[in-house]
Amino acid sequence: MAAEPGGRMAGKRVLLTGASGIGAAAAARLRGEGAEVFVADKDPERIAALCGALPGVVGAAGDLGDEDFARAAVEEALVTLGGLDVLVNVAGLSGRRFGDGPVHLASAEGWDAVMWNNLRSTFLVCRYGIEPLLRQRRGAIVNTGSVLAYAPAAEHFATHAYAASKGAIHALTRSMAASYAADGIRVNAVAPGLIATRMSERAQADPEVLAYLRERQPLTGAPGAPDDVAGAISYLASDEASFVTGVILEVSGGWSVAR
């Protein structure tokens, strides 16, 4: 998608993590609205596919829980884009295959994998990415939490490390918003409901989950689209949200008001 010169993200230089699902949709949105976008993801094929599909978008492949890679990705984005205005943390995973689950069944390895990929990666991108924002005393950060952090669904989504990692991302978001508001840096998060991406393939294929969503996401009664979340990310990243900080913006078709 070509960048739109007069779009609401015109002139914004964005480091975005996550090259699939919600991250890919956000890259397309932000690019379409005029941003310069640098993407980081640990899957080189997803980086290649996204950069191939979105002319002008560039990226780097590596594990953002690895401090050296996270620091290097921020540095490469800074050099490539000529500066940074926005950080968007979307990369993350469900730890089910590593042993996440209800706490009495979960493994310590599952816990560590979830914290590494969801929380530590978000922390490290914030840790290094906020430095240029502080220098210019201006910028926006958008993190990705989840409705499961505060509105559980024990019957279908009892992955407690995942919920804890997303709750910690919400807390990090609000604490950072408080600390950096006077520096001109806004920090917000989106909290998606169930969205149709690779990550939620198991849930999308389960008739019981789909029946559950008819009540839990009553706006459509179905999984959301990645672009539903991308729209909220783009809003929070843009100057249209210039008086908005410390917000956890739920994008869920009504998940937390449904019951």
Q: Which residues are catalytic?
A: 162
- The backbone torsions φ and ψ at residue 164, rounded to the nearest 5 degrees and listed phi first, read -65, -40
Residue 234 interacts with ligand NAD (CB under 6 A): yes or no: no
Site string for ligand NAD, 91-130 (x = CB under 6 A): xxx-----------------------x---x---------
Q: What is the Cα 145 distance to its own chain's centre?
A: 7
**Residues 120, 222: Cα–Cα separation, whole Å:** 31
Q: How far is the CB of 229 from ligand NAD (least distance, A)?
A: 7
Chosen residue from 15, 16, 19, 113 binding ligand NAD by CB under 6 A: 19
Determine what percent of the chain falls in helix, strand and coil, rounding each to the nearest 5: 50, 15, 35
Q: How far is the CB of 46 from ligand NAD (least distance, A)?
A: 5
- The backbone torsions φ and ψ at residue 152, rounded to the nearest 5 degrees and listed phi first, read -65, 165
Q: Which of 141, 119, 134 is nearest to 245 (CA)?
A: 141
Give the max Cα distance, the chain.
53
Q: What is the crossing angle of helices 44-53 and 21-32, to 10°?
A: 30
Tokens standing for residue 10 = 């015109």
Q: How far is the CB of 196 from ligand NAD (least distance, A)?
A: 7
The footprint of ligand NAD on this chain (CB under 6 A) covers a number of residues equal to 28
Residue 90 interacts with ligand NAD (CB under 6 A): yes or no: yes
Nearer to ligand NAD, 74 or 93 (CB): 93
Contacts 24+ apart (CB under 8 A), 148-152: 149/191, 150/191, 150/256, 151/255, 151/256
- The backbone torsions φ and ψ at residue 45, rounded to the nearest 5 degrees and listed phi first, read -65, -35
Q: How far is the CB of 175 from ligand NAD (least distance, A)?
A: 19
Nearer to ligand NAD, 8 or 156 (CB): 156
Q: Would you say 72 and 62 are in contact if contact means Cβ atoms under 8 Å apart?
A: yes
Q: How far is the CB of 166 from ligand NAD (least distance, A)?
A: 7
Nearer to ligand NAD, 92 or 129 (CB): 92
Residues 128-187 that bind ligand NAD (CB under 6 A): 144, 146
Given the rule CB under 6 A, which residues bind ligand NAD?
A: 18-23, 41-43, 46, 63-65, 90-93, 117, 121, 144, 146, 192, 194-195, 197-200
